[in-house]
Chains A and B, each alone.
Chain A
Amino acid sequence: MPTTDRLRDGLAREIGAERILSGPSVERTYESDAYNVDRSQPTVVVLPESTDEVAKVVRWCRREGIPFTARGAGTGLSGGAMPALGGVVISTKKLNRILEIDLPNRRMRAQAGVTNIALSKAVAAHGLHFAPDPSSQTVATLGGNIAENSGGPHTLKYGVTAPHILGLTLIDAEGEILELERGFGPDWIGMVVGSEGTLGVVTEAWVRLTPVPEHVETALACFGTVREASECVSAIISRGVLPAALEMMDRNILMALRAAFGLEFPDATQAMLLVECDGPREACRQEIEAVEQAFRDFGAITQQRARDAAERAKLWTARKKGVGAMGRLAPSVVTHDGVIPRSKLPEMLDAVYEIAARYQIGVANLFHAGDGNLHPCFYFDDRDPRQVEAVVAAGTEVIQKCIELGGSVTGEHGIGVEKLDLMGLMFSPGDLAYQARLKEIFGTNELCNPCKVLPNQRGCQEHRLRWRGVAT
C-alpha cells in the first residue's frame, strides 16, 4: 500500500487537501462500523461534496490501484463499511443536501449522505414521508439504506428500501457515472440496492414519497407462552390481515425493559406482540379488530389498544427501547439476523432457546415477527473467552436452523464480512460463481469495497486474521 503522504498528495490534486483526513484518530474512527468484531484501518478518508468529486476519487483510485470503500454513518452491522484492504474511505458526510422536492409527483432527489429521518422531515408538512424506517434512522444515511436495502418495523406493509428508490446516480468501479432510472428493461436499480457498496458509490437518488397514512391503530398483547404468540403471528396473516408492523418481544427483553424503564406487564408474560394497522379509517378499524380477535383466540393474557398518539408512543416503548435495555443484561450483546418463513416461527423460537440453553448463554428476542426476520440477542461476558466461543458457535447454529427451515442468512444486516462463511449455507458454489458474474456486469474490480458479500475472493482470505486482531 502506498504511503499516506502519496495518497494525500494524489487525492489533494483531485479534490483539494481540505477534503482529506488522515492520522491515528481517523484510522481508529473509520476502522469498523457498528459490527466491531473485525477491524481494518483506512490510509485516508475523503469527504467529497459532489458526484463529480466522487467520480474523480474513484478514477484516481482505479489508476493507482488503491482500494476504496464508501461509508455513510457507519451504523452497518456486518462490517460493510470496514476498509478491508485499507486504502481510501469515501465518506458521504458532505454529500448531505436535498436537491429537489417534486411534490406533485411525490418524489425527492437527495444526496447519499442525507440521513433517513431528514428525508421524511423535509416533506412532513406535506403529509408525506420516506417509508423505509430502520431503527437507526436518525443517523443512518440514504446511501447506507440503499447499499443494505434496509428495512424497519413497517417493512411488512411498505417493503424494504428497494421499491422506494426511483432512480440513482452510481459511480461504478471504473469511475463511470451511471444514471439509472426505473424504466423498461432489466431492473438495474434493484440490483444496485442491497449490493453493499460493492458495485460502486451511490452519490444521489430519487426517492419515492409515501403519504402518511390517513389513520393508524396500534394494539399490544401479552401471552403466557412464546408458542401462543408466535402461532398468533401466522394466524393474523393467514386471516387476510396485512398489518403495517407486527413485532414480537420475549420475556428476557421485557425483564430488561422493566429493570431499565419500569415497563409494566403481567408477571406470567412470556411474549408480547405489537401490531400496527394503517390506511383508510374503516378498513383500518376492521383490521385491528381482526387482530384483536386473533389475540383472544390464541389466549392473550391481556391486550390493549392505543386511543391516541401518546398512548401509541407508549405501546411502542418496549419495541423502541428494547435494544438499549439489553445493556442491563450482561456486559456484551451480539444481535443476530436471520429469516425464516413466518409459519416456522414456533419451531424456530424453540430451537433458539434450546441452542442458547445448550451453550449456557442468555438469549433475548425482539424482532420483526411479521416478516419472519429474527434478531436473537445473545448476552454474555466478553471477558470470558469460553463464552465468546459459545456465542459464535450458537449464532452459527441459529443461522443453520434458519436455512434448514427454508430461510435466509440475513434479512437486513447484510453479509459484509461477518457472514461471508455463511453464504455457502444458502448458495451452492455454482450459485456463488454466477453471483460473481453478476458483479462483473458493473465493471467491478477488486478495488471497490473489496472482500465483501462473496466468500473466497482473491486476496482476501489472508487478511481475515488481521481483521480479528489476531494476526502476527
Chain B
Amino acid sequence: MARGGDVRFWGLDFPEPLPEREAEISAADLVATFSAGWTLGEVQSMLRSEGLLIPHGGLCLEHPASQWPVRAADLTLEQAIGFDFPHALGHLYGGWTDWVLGLTVEDANSPGSEVKLGSRVVKSVAGYDGQKLFCGALGAFGRIVSVTLRVYPLSVPLHADLRGSGGPPSEDCVLHRVRPADLAALEATVGEHALALDRLGAWAVYPLGQKEDPPLRFAGDQLWRYGQVPELNPAARRLLTQAKVQLDPNDQHQPALWRPA
C-alpha cells in the first residue's frame, strides 16, 4: 500500500504516489525537495540525519494529544500539505503554507503534464504563489508530484507546552488554534471534557460535547474537525468554486468536496 501510513480522513482518497521516491536535502540552504509518497515520519528521519527538521508539533512533541487525531508521522507529505495538517508550534514556525516553497503538480487540465509553482529558494516573489493554494485544498486542485520545503536546524527551540488529558476520547473532536484571549473561556467551557492545550501557542484539542457545540464560539485562525470537513466562509467558498473551474474543470479531484448542498 503506497498511500503513506494509510491515513484516511473524511473519506478522501489521495492519488497513489509514483513508485520512484526521491529526496534532495541541502543543510546549508535549509531547503529540501521530496517527491510525493514519503511519509512525514520518513521525511523527519531523513532530515534528522542531516541535523534538520520540519518544526511540526505533531512530531516534535511527545504528548499524546499532539498525535491526535492520527499520528502525523503516518501522513504522506502531500496529505500533510493537503490537510494543512495543524500542529502546536505554529506560533513559532508557522505551518505548511510557510514551509512549502515550491511544488510540482500535475495539471488536472492536461493529465500527464507537470507544472512548477513557487521556487526552490527560501525567498522569491516571482509570479503567483499557486503553491499556497494547494495547502489546505485537500487535494482538490490536483496531484502533487514533488515538494520543496523550507526546513530548520535541529537545534531550534520547540516551546510547545502541552498539558491536559492524554488526548480526547471522543471521535468527533476539534483541534483549534484559538485566539489567546479565548483560551480561559474555552477551558471553562470544555474543561470537564478531555482537553489538551498549549498556552503559548493558544492551541487546543478537545472533543465536541454531545449536546453543546463550543468550538464555533471561539472562532480562531485554524479549525480542524475530525467528524466532518470544516465549513468555508462565503468568500473562500466563492474562490474555491472558481478555482475548481480554472484548475480542475472536469472535477476529477475530490469531486464531492465542499459542494453546495
Contact = CB atoms under 8 A, between A and B. Distances in A.
Interface string B8-27: 00000000000000000011
B123 A237 contact: no
A280 B139 CA distance: 40
A408 B240 CA distance: 29
A190 B235 contact: no
B236 A409 contact: no
A186 B236 contact: yes
B195 interface: no
Interface stretch (A32-40, A334-342, A458-466): A334-342
Contacts of A341: 26, 28-29, 31, 120-121
A133 to B, nearest CB: 14
A439 B221 CA distance: 25
Chain B interface size, under 10 / 10 to 19 / 20 to 34 / 35 or more = 35 or more
Contact of A186 (B31, B125, B134): B134
Interface in A299-346: 339-343
Contacts of A176: 238
B2 interface: no
Given A186-B240, A241-B153, A148 B136 contact: no
A187 B133 contact: yes
B154 to A, nearest CB: 7
Contacts of B156: 242
A450 interface: no
A438 interface: yes
19 contacts: A160-B125, A180-B236, A181-B221, A183-B232, A187-B84, A187-B97, A187-B132, A188-B236, A190-B135, A191-B132, A195-B128, A242-B152, A339-B124, A341-B28, A408-B123, A411-B124, A435-B128, A438-B247, A440-B242
Contacts of A188: 133, 235-236, 239
Contacts of A195: 128-129
B147 interface: no
Interface stretch (B38-46, B62-70, B109-117, B164-172): B109-117
A362 interface: no
Interface string A173-193: 000101111111111101101
A415 B132 CA distance: 19
B29 A372 contact: yes
Interface string A103-122: 01110000000000000000
B209 interface: no
A240 B51 contact: yes
B124 A408 contact: yes
Given A187-B133, A371-B123, 15 more contacts: A159-B98, A162-B98, A180-B235, A183-B222, A183-B236, A191-B130, A191-B132, A194-B125, A241-B155, A339-B123, A341-B28, A407-B124, A408-B123, A415-B125, A440-B246
Contacts of A238: 27-28
Contacts of A411: 121, 123-125
A191 B232 contact: no
A184 to B, nearest CB: 4
Interface in A440-469: 440-443, 453-454
Most chain B C-beta atoms within 10 Å of own C-beta, residue among A234, A428, A438: A438
Chain A interface size, under 10 / 10 to 19 / 20 to 34 / 35 or more = 35 or more
A185 B116 contact: no
A406 interface: yes
B261 interface: no
Q: Which 4 A-B pairs have the closest CB atoms?
A: A190-B132, A408-B124, A104-B181, A240-B153
A404 to B, nearest CB: 13
Contacts of B29: 237, 341-343, 372
B137 interface: yes
A414 interface: yes
B239 A148 contact: no
B49 interface: no
Interface in A367-385: 368, 371-373
A438 B130 CA distance: 7
B255 interface: no
A155 to B, nearest CB: 7
Contacts of A166: 221
Nearest to B235: A178
Contacts of A430: 107, 113, 115
Contact of B97 (A190, A407, A441): A190
Contact of B127 (A151, A343, A427, A437): A427
A241 B156 CA distance: 8
A18 interface: no
